[in-house]
Amino acid sequence: MFLQSRKFIWIFLTLLTALGLAACASLSPAQPVSTPTATFTPLPPTATSEPLALSVNGESVTLVEFNTEVARYTTAQTALGKTVASADATRAVIDDLVSQILLAQAAYANGYSLDDATLQVRIDSLATQAGGADALSKWESDHGYTDQDFRSGLRRAAPGCVTR
């Protein structure tokens, strides 16, 4: 009898273990759980400044402005029947722009001021001398200026006239 009770306990424990393990199992297949992964978050873009051709005491000339001035200089020299090497044209434009900026800085340091209204009076005067606003606009276009380029160039050159 002791053998039978031992056998009974053994069967009982085996069934109990099997039932316990079966109760832990899921009837539907296990779904994989995705583990979040770290991703790279790019920094927000920052404003990119225009490339500079030169800077004089903190006042800059962009590469686009500079290249446009070199092209104007070369075109003007060609119109005069002169051949100018690229390096010479570049040097002449650098010298002229630096001179304009230094003269303007000296004028401003000595109290000169140029507001938009005064600049517009000067542009209107040039338009009158040229034969009207259309004539000035044609001159600007013929010489590779946009209205903004012309205003910018005049704003840079005007103060230098005071100090010369």
Question: Residue 104: which of 52, 140, 57, 136 has the closest Cα?
Answer: 57
Q: What is the pLDDT of residue 51?
A: 95
The per-residue DSSP string of 114-144 comes to --HHHHHHHHHHHHHHHTSHHHHHHHHHHTT
Q: How far apart (Å, rounded) are the C-alpha atoms in residues 88 and 67?
A: 13
pLDDT at residue 96 in the model: 96
Name the pTM for this structure: 0.69
Count each helix (H run) and each strand (E run) in the chain, helices first. 6, 2
Name the stretches of the chain with pLDDT < 70: 1-30, 163-164
Q: Please identify which residue in the block is written with the tokens 């800085």.
A: 105
Phi, psi of 12 (to 5 degrees): -60, -45
pLDDT computed for residue 4 by the predictor: 63
Which residues 6+ apart lie within 8 Å of 50 measured at CB? 62, 63, 64
| Residue 84 near residue 77, CB atoms below 8 Å | yes
Where do the domains of the chain lie? 52-163
59 phi, psi to nearest 5 deg: -95, 130
Name the architecture of domain 52-163.
Orthogonal Bundle (1.10)
Distance (Å, whole) CA 120 – CA 154: 10
Are the beta carbons of 105 and 160 closer than 8 angstroms?
A: no
Decide if 93 contacts 69 (C-beta within 8 A): yes
Could you read off the pLDDT of 27-36 as tens digits, one per residue?
566 677 777 7
